[in-house]
Structure 1
Amino acid sequence: MPTVLTVGPYKFRFFSTDRLEPRHIHATRGTLVAKFWLDPVSLAKNRGFPDQELNSLARLVIEHQEKLRSAWDDYIWYWRLNRPPRAWKSPKTA
């Protein structure tokens, strides 16, 4: 479960087991989790975040959408091809 971006208390990550789904990211804060589709950005699931905080998270996903897409492609697409990711490194955090 690589963390591809950290902004304040939020960690944005994905799971290699999600590789058969469309591009998306999981946003977490403690035990709270929200899943956002990346193309286009929209909420897929919410586990515990209040609505106001979901709006803030959606804005962060939009703000960092290109970085999140790139991280997905670099990591997940290589898994789909049954190859290990090429020297995958998490992008610098904001």
Structure 2
Amino acid sequence: MPTILQMLGWRLFFYANEGCEPMHVHARKGEMECKFWLLPDEYEIRPAFVRGLGPRDLREIRKLIFDHFDYIAERWQTFQQERENG
């Protein structure tokens, strides 16, 4: 479960055992956790699940993901290539 970014108390990461799911990122801060699908063709994100986040926290993590969208997408591609090549 590599951490790809830590900022504002959030840890953004990928899980290595999620099979063939579309591009996404997990985020955790304290007891709060969420997962967002990344849609590069639309430059959009959509929540897959959100646990324990209030409206302010949700705005904060959405902004963090959008501000680092290209970086997260690049890291996803690299992570998947490394998994495939073993």
Number of aligned positions between the proteins: 82
Q: CA RMSD in A?
A: 1.2
TM-score (norm 1): 0.80
- Look up the match of 1:55: 59
Can you list the C-alpha shifts for 1:21-41, whole angstroms capped at 9, x where unaligned? 000001100231111111121
Gaps of 5+ in 2: none
Q: CA deviation at 1:77?
A: 3.3
TM-score (norm 2): 0.86
Gaps of 5+ in 1: 85-94
Q: Which runs of 4+ in 1 moved over 2 A?
A: none
Q: Percent identity?
A: 27
Give the structure, 1 or 2, with the largest relative contact order (CA under 8 Å, sep 6 or more): 1
Q: Which amino acid aligns with 2:76?
A: W
Q: Which amino acid aligns with 2:34?
A: A
Distance 2:64 2:57 in 1: 11
- Look up the match of 2:45: 41
- Look up the match of 1:22: 22
Q: CA deviation at 1:78?
A: 3.1
